[in-house]
Structure 1
Amino acid sequence: MKSLDITVPLDSPGILVPHLTNNKYDSYKITKIKGALTNVIYKLSIYLDGGCQNYLVRIYGSKMTSLVNREDELKNIKIVPKEVGFVKILLPFNNGRVESFLDGFKSLSQSEMVNVRYAKVIAKNFAILHFKSVPLEGEDINIYDHGFVWEKIQNWISIIESPMGQDWLIKNKRSNVHNVLLSKDWNTFKHIITKYKNWLLNDYTGSSHSLLFCHNDTQQGNILVEESTRDDDEPNIKFIDYEYSGPNFIDFDLSNYLTECMHDYEVDSNEAYKCIGSKYPSKKHIFEFVDSYLMTKSNLGVSPNKEEIKKLYNNIIKWRAATQLFWALWAILQSGDLTSLKNDKENTNPYDEYDVETLSSSDDKSTRDGIVADDSDDDDDDDEPFNYLGFCKDKLSFFWGDLIKFGIASKDNCIIEKIQYLDTELY
Structure 2
Amino acid sequence: MEPFSSNVSFSDSDINSLTATTSNLNIQSGIHQPKLYKKTSSSQVSLRRFSILQSDNDISDDLIKPSISHNESDVEVLSNSKILTNDELKQEDTISSGDDDIIYIAPSTPSSLKPTSGNADGKDLSSVLDVRFVDYYLDHTTEESHFASEIIKIIKLLKIKKWYKEDLKSKNLIIRKISGAMTNAIFQLKYKENDTLQSLLLRVYGPNVDSIIDRDYELQVLARLSNLRIGPKLFGCFNNGRFEEFLDNSITLTKDDVRKDLISYKVSKRMRELHFFVPLTKEEKNEASITWKRVDNWLKTISSINSKILKYVTQFEDFESFMKIVEIYRQYLNNNLNNKTPSFTHCDTQYGNLLKVEEEIVVIDFEYSGPNPPSFDIANHFSEWMHDYHSAKPEYLKPSKYPSREQIDTFLKGYNFLNSESLYDDIIRSRALVNLHWCLWGILQSGVLVNEKNTVDVEEKEEDLVDEDHGEGTGADIETFDCLLYSREKFKIVLGDWQQLGIIQDCENKSFKSYKLDAKFISTDDSN
- Given candidates 275, 299, 307, the residue that maps to 1:130 is 275
- Aligned counterparts of 2:348 and 2:314: Cα–Cα separation in 1: 22
- Aligned counterparts of 2:264 and 2:214: Cα–Cα separation in 1: 29
Task: Say whether the 8 Å CA contact 1:217–1:257 is kept in structure 2.
Answer: yes
Equivalences for residues 19-418 of structure 1 within 5 A: 19-20=154-155, 21-22=163-164, 24-25=167-168, 27-49=172-194, 53-80=198-225, 85-133=230-278, 135-142=279-286, 144=287, 146-161=288-303, 166=304, 168-169=305-306, 174-204=307-337, 210-226=341-357, 235-268=359-392, 271-294=393-416, 304=418, 308-339=419-450, 385-412=480-507, 416=511, 418=513
Task: Say whether the 8 Å CA contact 1:84–1:129 is kept in structure 2.
Answer: no
- Given candidates 136, 152, 163, the residue that maps to 1:17 is 152
Secondary structure in structure 1 of the residue aligned to 2:232: coil
- Higher mean Cα deviation, 46-55 or 272-281? 46-55
What is the identity, as a one-letter code, of the residue corresponding to 1:4? V
Shift of 1:205: 8.5
What is the identity, as a one-letter code, of the residue corresponding to 1:326? H
Secondary structure in structure 1 of the residue aligned to 2:311: helix
Shift of 1:66: 2.9
Shift of 1:177: 2.1
Task: Say whether the 8 Å CA contact 1:40–1:60 is kept in structure 2.
Answer: yes
1:257-316 deviations in Å (ceiling 9; x for gaps) = 010111111223xx111121011111100011112101xx6xxxxxx2xxx111111111
Task: Say whether the 8 Å CA contact 2:136–2:154 is kept in structure 1.
Answer: no
Secondary structure in structure 1 of the residue aligned to 2:449: coil
1:30/1:193 Cα in 2 relative to 1: closer, same or farther (>3 Å)? same
Task: Say whether the 8 Å CA contact 1:40–1:61 is kept in structure 2.
Answer: yes
Unpaired runs of 5+ residues, structure 2, are: 1-104, 106-131, 156-162, 452-473, 524-528
1:221-265 deviations in Å (ceiling 9; x for gaps) = 211112xx5xxxxx3111111111111110100110010111111
- Higher mean Cα deviation, 215-224 or 5-14? 5-14
Task: Say whether the 8 Å CA contact 2:390–2:475 is kept in structure 1.
Answer: no
What is the identity, as a one-letter code, of the residue corresponding to 1:3? F
- Give the structure with the higher percent strand: 1
Task: Say whether the 8 Å CA contact 1:327–1:392 is kept in structure 2.
Answer: yes
Task: Say whether the 8 Å CA contact 2:347–2:369 is kept in structure 1.
Answer: yes
Task: Say whether the 8 Å CA contact 2:204–2:240 is kept in structure 1.
Answer: yes
Task: Say whether the 8 Å CA contact 1:182–1:397 is kept in structure 2.
Answer: no
- Aligned counterparts of 2:518 and 2:339: Cα–Cα separation in 1: 30
Please give the TM-score of this superposition, normalised by the length of structure 2.
0.63
- Aligned counterparts of 1:291 and 1:410: Cα–Cα separation in 2: 35
1:370-391 deviations in Å (ceiling 9; x for gaps) = xxxxxxxxx7999961010000
**Considering only aligned residues, what root-mean-square deviation do their CA atoms show, in Å?**
2.5
Secondary structure in structure 2 of the residue aligned to 1:87: coil
- Aligned counterparts of 1:199 and 1:426: Cα–Cα separation in 2: 14
1:60/1:384 Cα in 2 relative to 1: closer, same or farther (>3 Å)? closer
1:346-384 deviations in Å (ceiling 9; x for gaps) = xxxxxxxxxxxxxxxxxxxxxxxxxxxxxxxxx799996
What is the identity, as a one-letter code, of the residue corresponding to 1:283? R
What is the identity, as a one-letter code, of the residue corresponding to 1:274? Y
- Aligned counterparts of 2:265 and 2:228: Cα–Cα separation in 1: 15
- Higher mean Cα deviation, 73-82 or 395-404? 73-82
1:83/1:6 Cα in 2 relative to 1: closer, same or farther (>3 Å)? closer
Unpaired runs of 5+ residues, structure 1, are: 230-234, 298-303, 341-378
Identity %: 31
Matched residue, 1:343: none
1:260/1:413 Cα in 2 relative to 1: closer, same or farther (>3 Å)? farther
Secondary structure in structure 2 of the residue aligned to 1:241: coil
Indicate the structure whose relative CO is greater, using CA pairs within 8 Å and at least 6 residues apart.
1
- Aligned counterparts of 2:510 and 2:180: Cα–Cα separation in 1: 30
1:97-151 deviations in Å (ceiling 9; x for gaps) = 0111111112210001222211111100111101111x22422332x1x511111
Task: Say whether the 8 Å CA contact 2:275–2:343 is kept in structure 1.
Answer: yes
Structure number with greater Rg is 2
Runs of 4+ in structure 1 over 4 Å off: 49-52, 81-84, 204-207, 379-384
Secondary structure in structure 2 of the residue aligned to 1:196: helix
Please give the TM-score of this superposition, normalised by the length of structure 1.
0.77
- Aligned counterparts of 1:201 and 1:84: Cα–Cα separation in 2: 34
1:318/1:53 Cα in 2 relative to 1: closer, same or farther (>3 Å)? same
Shift of 1:157: 0.5
Shift of 1:52: 5.1
What is the identity, as a one-letter code, of the residue corresponding to 1:138? K
- Higher mean Cα deviation, 72-81 or 198-207? 198-207
- Aligned counterparts of 1:203 and 1:317: Cα–Cα separation in 2: 11
1:122/1:293 Cα in 2 relative to 1: closer, same or farther (>3 Å)? same
- Aligned counterparts of 1:107 and 1:124: Cα–Cα separation in 2: 18
1:50/1:158 Cα in 2 relative to 1: closer, same or farther (>3 Å)? closer
Aligned residues: 355
